[in-house]
Chains A and B, each alone.
Chain A
């Protein structure tokens, strides 16, 4: 039976069919749907782990106890999980351990653009790269077998255009794993990585790589050669292969399904069968560098194809037309110059609890060390209330470190802001450092009770598991106190005046402090009935009172817009226009009413 599946759903399906019994992940676009989908299968234990390092460690333990395990993350998540990854390469596995890493070329929703294929050579871990949903399922299934056969974790590299593309998949049945459950206390030389053991494993890792290389050449079924017109041969992998095949279908192809170790014999044969070789790959010249190092002459690769951004059929045609066809690329006619159109960037939702908090920070003129989450949208004008943002948890350490340089001159000028999920992911360590080493920065935890940006995933602070079962919830106040933070305060962010005063007091204090927002769930999190806390459901502009001062527009609420209408307000002052509140979007959060100085915003009659 064929079913249309998203790449991520197909990866989950592949793991289920392969008999996986455990799945762990921290959400991150474009990988998040994999575990959500896997959690629907009752045969698989699944969990949202607090971060990717924990997810991989849990997954490794599960593998050692005999459970086939899938661990998923986005590309930057693998940076967090790199520590266990590099060692698990040495210890190997018992039941299959497959690690999915989803890249984001073009940075649709990411803070950088990194090519995860480099981990495979670096960590000496084989990597498979599917191109579409059918391959996502097939490759995942096979990855578990490879993992067990070669005693290695296996990386499965996806990316936005694989994870978030849908195509038909032939569904299969589930096969239970043959690996027995249990732990063996005699395997210390394999599992305890003290130097004397690790030196011995180091040799086995190299031997394993040699065996995998031979497997890639002789047995792995997804390295495929298609000889058509031999004047040009393309070597490619993943979705880049599909784009190339779309544009230049008449030529010859070597499609690489396992990007490391590479099938050297197949590559050698391909160079004999075709006249000139073009390597097509997205992001870095990974295949090209390897192939050149083997001594082959690559006709074209990154000399023509951009290493930055998404490789689309349009980009590919533009890069290669002249070389392949001898004709210049002819761009389609531009009917309307779209650069002149207003852009539509994402924005904090109407009623979001982050908006009033950032208004308070802006009022205080603080340098805000931000973090990764919806609240990073506060950087956009006119809110413009974030000044640094690096990676998960980084803002807490950043604010503390800046304070160490600025000393007293920085008091009252710095704070760190991060969400509940991000705090639990990697904010606790730097908070401990701030207290231990005498920092004075204030850490503000925006508790919206969910991992919001990636689409509402549970975490250890929400009180629910991935299956929706009740679970213990971290108490942020107690946690901060246990670390040694003496000044822990809570605020209602929707009360801008009080919130501003609390922040003012804490950022001026010469010792570490924590502020936690209370009763501020994500406005999209239905189970908390977030709208019930608002007295009125909608507000409107009182056209008589509105002075056209635009203060309410500066809060960047999607419900509020400007109507140019020169005239005179009730008090006789001239105005150029008035504000307007869209009733379809207003939820009655009363943030704009606190900003308006003229009582120009009033509740709608219910």
Chain B
């Protein structure tokens, strides 16, 4: 398994912190000796558009892009943006959903409906491989709603037993200014607690 390239697909809405989340993931895996590649589309994202990150790691990674149907993990920061990429996940893939909805314009205007029962749709297809995390509430309870992204990375970290906790917290410390270390490390540990396996 260690030699195989693994794929993490991250999706969300501009401003939710997906880029920092994938940077932490990348640094932790680099610290653990993997090659990592990640692809993002910037540009219009800041204006409330959807954002995605293709994240791949292994011994040797060629393409920076994940093939449709081959994501080992979907980590989504918003429920509609999770559903939009449901077809990218492998049948045995794992899904981490942040339990947050941000209404897109067509729903704001009352012209379309926000999809119902997103969690249930995922459970229908991925059974017990679906975890729902209240990232925003957890982050708020820690005193900063912006660290929801790191809560989700904490949750994801439970699926990488080959990485030590120091490799993860080290990555957080390398990437963030000192004044933000404590709250982000806390958010990371809270995220880990959300996954019981």
Q: Which residues of A contact B (CB under 8 A)?
A: 2, 4, 29-30, 108-109, 132, 160-161, 164-168, 239, 242-243, 245-247, 249, 312-314, 317, 331-336, 338, 341-349, 374, 377, 380, 382, 453-455, 524, 550, 553, 556, 558, 560-562, 564, 577
Contacts and interface: CB of A to CB of B under 8 A. Distances in A.
Contacts of B115: 341
A369 B159 CA distance: 53
Q: Which range holds the interface residue count of chain B?
A: 35 or more
A167 B68 CA distance: 21
Contacts of A313: 63, 65-67
B30 A164 contact: no
B108 to A, nearest CB: 4
6 contacts: A242-B63, A333-B69, A342-B106, A346-B49, A380-B105, A553-B109
Contact of B47 (A347, A560, A562): A347
A166 B108 CA distance: 35
A161 B65 contact: yes
Interface string B30-43: 10000111111111
Contacts of B40: 164-166
Nearest to B78: A344
Interface string B176-190: 000000000000000
Interface in B29-87: 30, 35-50, 61-70, 80-81, 83-84, 86-87
B41 A164 contact: yes
B13 interface: yes
Contacts of B84: 338, 341
Contact of B39 (A164, A341, A562, A577): A164
Contacts of A29: 42-43
A224 to B, nearest CB: 14
B104 A343 contact: yes
B64 A455 contact: no
Given A161-B64, A336-B86, A374-B47, A558 B108 contact: yes
B48 A167 contact: no
B83 A242 contact: no
B30 A377 contact: no
B36 A164 contact: no
Contacts of A332: 68-70, 87-88
Q: Which of B43, B45, B66 has the most CB of A within 10 A?
A: B43
Nearest to B85: A338
B109 A562 contact: yes
Given A314-B68, A556-B105, A577 B110 contact: yes
B172 to A, nearest CB: 14
Given A338-B83, A454-B43, A561-B108, 19 more contacts: A2-B30, A4-B36, A29-B42, A164-B40, A165-B38, A165-B39, A165-B64, A167-B38, A167-B61, A317-B67, A332-B70, A342-B113, A343-B106, A344-B13, A455-B46, A550-B109, A558-B48, A560-B108, A561-B103
Nearest to B175: A4
Nearest to B61: A167
B121 A344 contact: no
B44 A336 contact: no
Given A2-B30, A132-B37, A132-B64, A336 B49 contact: no
A556 B47 CA distance: 13
Contacts of B14: 346
B27 interface: yes
A603 B79 CA distance: 31
Contacts of A317: 67
B1 interface: no
B83 A336 contact: yes
Contacts of A577: 110
B112 interface: yes
Contacts of A561: 103, 107-110
A246 B115 CA distance: 35
A348 B47 contact: yes
B90 to A, nearest CB: 9
A165 B62 CA distance: 12
A265 to B, nearest CB: 27
A334 B68 CA distance: 10
B26 interface: yes
